[in-house]
Structure 1
Amino acid sequence: MTNTKTFGYVRVSTKDQNTDRQLVEMQKLNINERDVFIDKASGKDFDRPQYQALKAQLRAGDLLYITSLDRLGRNSDAIKKEWNELTQVIGADIIVIDMPLLDTRKYKDTMGNFVANLVLEVLTFMAQSEREKTLARQAEGIAVAKAKGKHLGRPQLNLNTLTKQQRVDLEANYQAWKVKEITGVKFMEKLGLKKNSFYKIISEYENSIEA
C-alpha cells in the first residue's frame, strides 16, 4: 500500500522516568523523530494526549511499533479493545518489539491469528496483574506507614520542624514584627516561609511563649 507511514509509541508512568531505552529502539528502526509519540502517564487507560494524537494520525496500512505490550497499556480489557480498534477498525499493523509473535503483519491466516490472540491474552493478563500487584504494594506501604504513625507526603511544617537558623531568626525578629518595625513579608522572607505556614508557626510560637 502506498503512502503508508511508520510510527513509534513510547510511554513511561511518571515524569521522572527515563524514556531513553525505548527511544533507542525507535532509532534503530529509523523511525522519524516527529513520528514517535511520547506519553509520561499511567497505563491504566488510554486517555493520554500523545497516544490520542498518534491514533488520530494512523491510517490503514500504517505500522505502529511499541517496545513491549505494557507500554501500550496496563488494563487487560482496555488493551484488547484498543488493539482491535487499531488493527480492525483503522487497519494499521502493530509490532511489539520484544514479542515477535505480536506482529500483525505476519499472522493473517486462521492459525496465525489464533496464536497471536492467545499471546495477546496472556500478555494483557500479565500487564494487568503487574499493575494490580504494584497498587497492592503501594496500599500495603501506606497502611504500614499509617500504623506506625508516619505522615505520608510532604512533611508537616510546625514549630518543632523549623531549622536551628529559622528558630533563631524567629526569635530575633518576632518583637520587631509585632511593633511593625519590619513587615510581615520581610519576616516571611527571613524565615523562608509562605504566608499560610508563617501564620501557623507564629501562632504556635505565641502559644509557646504564653504558656
Structure 2
Amino acid sequence: MTYGYARVSSKDQNEDRQLLALAQFGVPPKQIFVDKQSGKDFDRPAYQKMLRKLKEGDLLVMKSIDRLGRNYEEILDEWKKITRDKGVDVYIMDMPLLDTRRGKDLLGTFISDLVLQLLSFVAENERENIRRRQAEGIQAAKLRGVKFGRPELPIPDEFEDICSSWREGKYTAQEAARLLGFSVTTLYRKSKILEK
C-alpha cells in the first residue's frame, strides 16, 4: 500500500500544494493523512493514525522532509522507526536521494541516512533561525516605538462622572463598564490610572 503524509503548521495554512503532489504521484486520496499543526513533535492525530496503519512493504510518500517534523533528533528517530522497525519504504519527493526503495545495499542506506541527517539538521536549524529572526524583529520594532497587542481604547469624556458614580455605588462595575464600552477589567485598569 502507498500512503501519503501532508502537514501545514496551522489551520489557516493551505495544504493543497502537497495534496496535489501526492495525488500526481498516485497516492489514493483515502490513504493521505493530513495534520494542521506544528512539526515541533510527533504528537499529531493524523500522523499517529497513519503510523498505526503502516505495515512492512508499504510506501510512505511526502512532499518534503520538513513535513515530517522540525526536530533533528526526533526526525532521525521517526525515520528509523518507520524504515527499520516497521520495514516501510519512504520517498521524499523534493529530495529523490531520500528514496529507500532504491539502493538497499550498504552504500545506498549510507547515502540515504547521510542525506536525511543533513536535511533534518537544516530543518531544525531553519526553525531556530525563524525564532531568532522573529525575536530580533520584535525587538527592533519595539525600539522604533511599535506597540504590540490591541490598541488602547480612548477614555470617553464621561469617564470620570461614570467612575465616580460607580465608586459611590450608583452603578455596578458591569453597568459602568457597559456604559463606557469597556470590559470590567479595562474599567478597573483605567480607573486606577485615573486615581494616580
Alignment TM-score, normalising by the size of structure 1: 0.77
Does 2:102 align with 1:106? yes
Structure 2 partner of 1:44: 40
Does 2:20 align with 1:24? yes
Please provide the CA RMSD for this pair: 2.8
Does 2:154 align with 1:138? no
Sequence identity, in percent? 41
Structure 1 counterpart of 2:149, from 151, 154, 167 = 154
1:107 alignment partner AA = G
Q: 2: CA distance between counterparts of 1:79 and 1:52?
A: 14
Change (3 A) 1:190 1:93: farther
2:153 alignment partner AA = L
Give the CA deviation at 1:184: 3.0
Aligned length: 196
Give the CA deviation at 1:11: 1.6
Give the CA deviation at 1:113: 1.9
Change (3 A) 1:149 1:67: same
| Secondary structure, counterpart of 2:156 in structure 1 | helix
Does 2:14 align with 1:14? no
Change (3 A) 1:73 1:168: same
Does 2:182 align with 1:186? no
CA offsets per residue over residues 71-108 of structure 1, 9 Å max, x none? 11122222111101101101111111111221212222
Structure 2 partner of 1:62: 58
Q: 1: CA distance between counterparts of 2:49 and 2:147?
A: 36
Q: 2: CA distance between counterparts of 1:187 and 1:33?
A: 56
Q: Which moved more, 1:67-76 or 1:166-175?
A: 166-175
Structure 2 partner of 1:127: 123
Q: 1: CA distance between counterparts of 2:181 and 2:36?
A: 32
Does 2:190 align with 1:201? yes
Unaligned runs of 5+ in 2: none
Q: What pairs up with 1:83-94 in 2 under 5 angstroms?
A: 83-94=79-90
1:96 alignment partner AA = I
2:114 alignment partner AA = L
Change (3 A) 1:204 1:119: same
Change (3 A) 1:60 1:162: same
